[in-house]
Every structure is written in C-alpha cells, then in structure tokens.
C-alpha cells in the first residue's frame, strides 16, 4: 500500500521525524492523516532502529486540530463516539504507550485535538509566537483527544478550566509558565533544537526509557483509556446539540457563534 503523503517520514541518527503535511489547511486532521500517523507510530514501535520520534507540522502551523469541513460533511453519517474510537482515542494511546520518547515541535497554531496530541507526547518545544487554544467549546463541543485528563494533569485544574471555558488564545511564553511546554525557542531555531533533543533522547537507554514511560503512565494516567472512552460518550451527546451546529457554522463562516443553551 502506498504511503500517505499527509504524514511525511524522515529517518536520521535514530530519530524518526513525522511531519503532518496538510499545510494549506493548517495541518487539520482528516481521516487519512489520522490513519497515516497511527500507521507511522505502529511501524516505529516495531522498528528497533527508531530510538526516538519527532512530531512536527509542515508550513505555518503544527495543527489546527480536526478538519471541521470533513466533520460537516460526515454529519448524520457517523457518530462522534464512533469517530473518536477510530481516530483520536487509539492515537492518544499509541503516543503514550509506545516505549520510545516522543518530542513535539510546536509552531503557528496548536488547537483542539492537536493540543491533546501535543500533550500526549513526552516533551514539547514551542517556537516563539506559537498560539494555543483548547478550541472545543468554541464549536460547542466538550474536550476530547485526552484533553480532559492531560490538560489538568499538566497545568492544574484551575488553569485548565479557565482555558477551556473561555477558549482564550495563549502564547508560547504563557504555555511555558504553566509547564505546558518544556522550552520556547526562536522560530528559526525550532527545527534544529527539536532535532537535537530528539537525537539526545535517541542515545539514551531505550529499554529503560520505555519502562519509565510505563511507570509514568501508571502513576499519572492509569485511567487514560477509560477517560478517552468517556470523552467519546460525552461528545456523542454534544454532537446533537444546537450549540454545536451553530459553533461549526460560525467557524466555517468566520464569525462569532451565537450560543443559546
């Protein structure tokens, strides 16, 4: 089967660099890109030559999250529960369970499901000027992609609640202050510095890094799988709300939503 061009693979010095490649749409996730990333991670898990993974995005953004145009077309054809069970739930579990370190190199926009994906990575480096938003409530949805667990675990419940309920945009320096990212670097240095970190991790004791990830998962995220399942249940309820229909329409029309519930 031909490799999808929506996720580019490059291998160097033990590092597998995976580049989200839908730059014209700010690397928004469609079904094809999600499946391609899942396959790339499965292949990486089986390949002993791959000792670390670097995840980044082509063009001006890391990722704006789910492709809402695709979801608009799928309305009535698939439940959001089913969608999450096929796409983001297994992807988040892969990122946490692969016994190799994963570095996320963030720039431009990081929103919605892409924030959950970034949080599921082990380390995050952001370029100056990167803009983050939780995103879900802006389109009348509850958080999914592990955000309801990962975000409070990283930044604390109070900050997570404010960022989620207000849907405010925050920058890389604020993210650093909340420990959401490990480092902030000049934008032009992001590729080199993120690759240098991934190379450093590739030189570490891989079996012990894998065991450490298992221990962290058990200590901090022992209920990740059940939380992902519950997020899917909640999202199936939100899917049919008037506020979600209004939120998606407003997003596509580039206007402020008029929520009524």
Q: What is the pLDDT of residues 102-119, one digit of tens each?
A: 999 999 999 999 999 999
Query: What confidence tens digit (pLDDT) does each residue in 57-91 have?
Result: 999 999 999 998 888 787 767 899 999 999 999 99
Tokens of 104: 């996320």
Q: Contact, 126 vs 176, CB < 8 A?
A: yes
Q: How confident is the model at residue 168 (pLDDT cuts 50, 70, 90)?
A: very high
> pTM for the complete prediction?
0.96
The residue-averaged pLDDT of 223-227 equals 98
What's the Cα-to-Cα distance from 214 to each of 145, 167, 228, rounded to whole Å? Answer: 20, 32, 18
What's the Cα-to-Cα distance from 197 to each of 54, 103, 127, rounded to whole Å? Answer: 9, 8, 14
Q: What is the rounded average pLDDT for all residues in the chain?
A: 95
Q: Contact, 87 vs 145, CB < 8 A?
A: no
Question: Whole-angstrom Cα distance, residue 193 to residue 50?
Answer: 19
| Every domain of the chain and the residues it spans | 7-188+198-202
Q: Contact, 232 vs 144, CB < 8 A?
A: yes
What percent of the chain stands above pLDDT 90?
A: 88
Asked if residue 1 has pLDDT above 60, the reply is: no
Answer positive or negative: Cα dihedral of 227, 233, 234, 239.
positive
SS3 state of residue 16: strand
The residue-averaged pLDDT of 123-148 equals 97
To the nearest 10°, the Cα dihedral for 147, 153, 157, 163? -40
Q: How confident is the model at residue 260 (pLDDT cuts 50, 70, 90)?
A: confident
Taking residue 228's Cβ as centre, other Cβ atoms within 10 Å add up to 24
7-188+198-202 homologous superfamily: 2-enoyl-CoA Hydratase; Chain A, domain 1 (3.90.226.10)
Asked if residue 221 has pLDDT above 90, the reply is: yes
The confidence score (pLDDT) of residue 2 equals 63
């Amino acid at each position: 089967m031909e490799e999808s061009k929506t996720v580019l693979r490059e291998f160097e010095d033990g590092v597998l660099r995976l580049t989200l490649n839908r730059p014209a749409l700010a690397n928004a996730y469609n079904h094809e890109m999600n499946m391609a990333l899942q396959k790339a991670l499965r292949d990486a898990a089986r390949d002993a030559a791959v000792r670390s993974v670097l995840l980044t995005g082509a063009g001006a953004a890391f990722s704006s999250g789910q492709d809402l145009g695709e979801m608009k077309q799928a309305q009535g054809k698939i439940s959001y529960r089913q969608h999450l069970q096929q796409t983001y739930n297994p992807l988040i579990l892969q990122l946490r369970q692969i016994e190799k370190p994963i570095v996320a190199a963030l720039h431009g926009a990081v929103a919605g499901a892409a924030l959950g994906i970034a949080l599921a990575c082990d380390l995050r480096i952001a370029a100056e000027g990167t803009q983050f938003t939780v995103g879900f409530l802006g389109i009348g949805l509850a958080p999914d992609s592990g955000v309801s667990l990962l975000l409070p675990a990283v930044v604390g419940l109070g900050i997570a609640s404010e960022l989620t309920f207000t849907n405010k945009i925050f920058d890389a320096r604020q993210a650093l202050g909340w420990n959401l990212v490990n480092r902030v670097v000049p934008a032009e240095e992001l590729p080199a510095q993120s690759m240098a970190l991934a190379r450093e991790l590739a030189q570490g004791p891989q079996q012990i890094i894998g065991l450490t990830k298992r221990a962290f998962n058990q200590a901090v995220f022992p209920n990740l799988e059940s939380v992902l399942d519950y997020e899917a249940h909640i999202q199936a309820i939100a899917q049919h709300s008037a506020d979600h229909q209004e939120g998606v329409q407003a997003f596509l029309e580039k206007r402020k939503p008029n929520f009524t519930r």
